[in-house]
Amino acid sequence: MDSLWTYFNHPNFWWVLAGTTFLSAISALVGTFTYLQRKSLMGDAIAHGILPGVAGGFLLAGEKNALIIMIGAIVWGLLTVSSIDWISRKTHLQNSTAMAVVLSAFFGLGMMLLTVVQTSGLPDASGINSFLFGQAASMLPEDLLVYSVFAIVVAFVLAAIYPHLSIISFDRAAAQSIGFNVRRIDAVLSILVVAATAIGIQSIGLILMAALLITPAAIARMWSSRLIGMLLFSGAIAAFAAGIGAVISFTAPAMPTGPWIVLVLFIFTLISMVISPQRGLLKQFRQQKKNQNIILRENFIKRLYHQWEKSGQTTFILNELKDKPSKRTLRFALQNDWIHQVGITIHLSEKGLREGRRITRAHRLWELYLSRTLRMRDDHVHPSAEVMEHLIGDDLEKELLRTLGYPQTDPHQRDIPYEP
C-alpha cells in the first residue's frame, strides 16, 4: 500500500484524476442522448474515423500538442459524420453500412499516417500510441486544460439545447410535427459527439471510446426512466470508471487506461443487469415468483369457496383436499385469517369466504365479458378467466360491473356472487 501513496503524491495524479473523471462524465452525457435516439454505433464510427485527424495533427505539430491534435480530431470527426451522411443519402446503402465503410476506410488512412509518424523520427513519436488505447497518466496539466475548455463548451451547448434534445429523444415524430427543426438538432448532436470523442481519446483511447458513449447510458437506463436521472447516473458512472482507470494508469504504467475503464463499465453493466430496479433480472424473477404465489393462493381459496358454494361446507380435512396447498400457500392463508386450522382440519373463515367470492366473481364477470363483448363461444372463455381473475382488482371489477350492467349470471348460468 505504501507504493500506492507515492502515486497519490505524484504531482500530476490529482490533476489527471480530476481531469479524466470530468471529461468522461461530459462524454457520457452526450452519449446518453445518442443512446436515447438509438444512434449508439455512430459514436464508434466517429471514434475510429477520427484517427487520421489525430495522426495528422501530430505530424503537423511535430509533437504531442493537445490543441492541434484536438482540432485535427474534430475536423476528421466532422468529415466522418458528413461522409457517412453523404453515402447514405446518395446511394441505397443503409446508414449502418455507410458507417462500417467510412470507419474502416478512414481508420486505414489513419494507420498509414501512423506508420509515417513512427518512421518520422519525431521526438515524441511513441506518444501517439496513448491515443489508441488511452494513457491517462501521460496527460500533462496543459493538455487537461485544453480538453477541459472543450468539455466546458460541450456542456454549455448541451445545456442550451437541452429542451430540444429532450423532446426529440422522447418523441421525434411529435417534435417534427410541432415545427422543430429536427435535422438541425441532429447536426448539433453529431458535432457534440465528435467533440465528446475528441476530449475522451487521451484518457480512454479512440479504439474503445464508443464504450464511454454507450455503456454509461445503457446502465443509467436500467436505473432510471427519467432523462435527468439518466444523465446524472451516466455521468457519475463514467466519472467513477474513469477514476479507476486513472489510478490503474498510474500504478501500472505499461497498462493502457481505456480497457480498464471499459472493463469497470462492463462489470457495472452486469451488476445492474441483475439488481437494477427498472429491468433487473432479480426483479423480473421476483415478479414471476410473486405472480405464481398469487395464483397459487388465490386458486386455493377459490376452490374452497366453490366447495362451500356447492355444499355449504366450511370445514375440510386437509389431507382429503383434491389439490393440497403448498406450505407457503397454507401459511399465507392462515396468516391472513382466510382459514383457521384445528389439527388436521381447516375451517373457512368469513374473510376467506369473501376472498373466494371476490375471485369467483372476477372469474365469472370476465367470462361474461368475453362472451358478450368479444362474442366468444361460451365453451372457450374459461382458460382466459383462470388468469384474469387474479389480475382484476377493485377498479377493474367496478368497470366490468358497469359495462355489463351488474349481471346476475355468467355464460354457464352460474350465479355471479355479490357481497350479501
Pick out residues in 59-88 that bind other proteins (CB under 8 A): 86-87
Cβ proximity to other proteins, 280 vs 417, nearer residue = 280
Burial (CB count within 10 angstroms: exposed 0-12, middle 13-18, buried 19+), residue 166: middle
The answer to whether residue 94 forms part of the interface with other proteins (CB under 8 A) is yes
The answer to whether residue 113 forms part of the interface with other proteins (CB under 8 A) is yes
What separation in angstroms does the CA of 241 have from each of 35, 212, 225, 263, 268?
19, 9, 22, 9, 9
Q: Are 266 and 216 in contact (CB under 8 A)?
A: no
Q: Which of 29, 30, 46, 48 binds other proteins (CB under 8 A)?
A: 48
Cβ proximity to other proteins, 71 vs 214, nearer residue = 214
The answer to whether residue 373 forms part of the interface with other proteins (CB under 8 A) is yes
Q: Show contacts with other proteins in window 178-207 (CB under 8 A).
A: 207
Packed helices 40-49 and 51-61: angle between N→C axes, nearest 10 degrees: 30
Look at residues 328, 330, 348 and name the one whose alpha carbon lies nearest to residue 338.
348
Cβ proximity to other proteins, 59 vs 144, nearer residue = 59
Residue given cell 497518466 in the structure block: 137
Look at residues 405, 419, 333, 323 and name the one whose alpha carbon lies nearest to residue 372.
405
Q: Which of 102, 128, 220, 353 binds other proteins (CB under 8 A)?
A: 102
The answer to whether residue 390 forms part of the interface with other proteins (CB under 8 A) is yes
Cβ proximity to other proteins, 104 vs 409, nearer residue = 104
**Cα 379–chain centre separation:** 44
Cβ proximity to other proteins, 144 vs 260, nearer residue = 260
- SS3 for 312? coil
Q: Are 62 and 121 in contact (CB under 8 A)?
A: no
- Give me the least distance between CB of 291 and other proteins, in Å please: 5
The answer to whether residue 256 forms part of the interface with other proteins (CB under 8 A) is yes
Q: Which of 326, 387, 409, 412 binds other proteins (CB under 8 A)?
A: 387
Q: Which of 139, 208, 348, 359 binds other proteins (CB under 8 A)?
A: 208
Q: Show contacts with other proteins in window 269-298 (CB under 8 A).
A: 269, 273, 276, 279-281, 284, 287-288, 291, 295
Cβ proximity to other proteins, 96 vs 176, nearer residue = 96
The answer to whether residue 96 forms part of the interface with other proteins (CB under 8 A) is yes
The answer to whether residue 263 forms part of the interface with other proteins (CB under 8 A) is yes
- Give every CB contact of residue 417 below 8 A, 6+ residues apart in sequence: 309, 357, 360, 361, 364
Q: Are 26 and 234 in contact (CB under 8 A)?
A: no
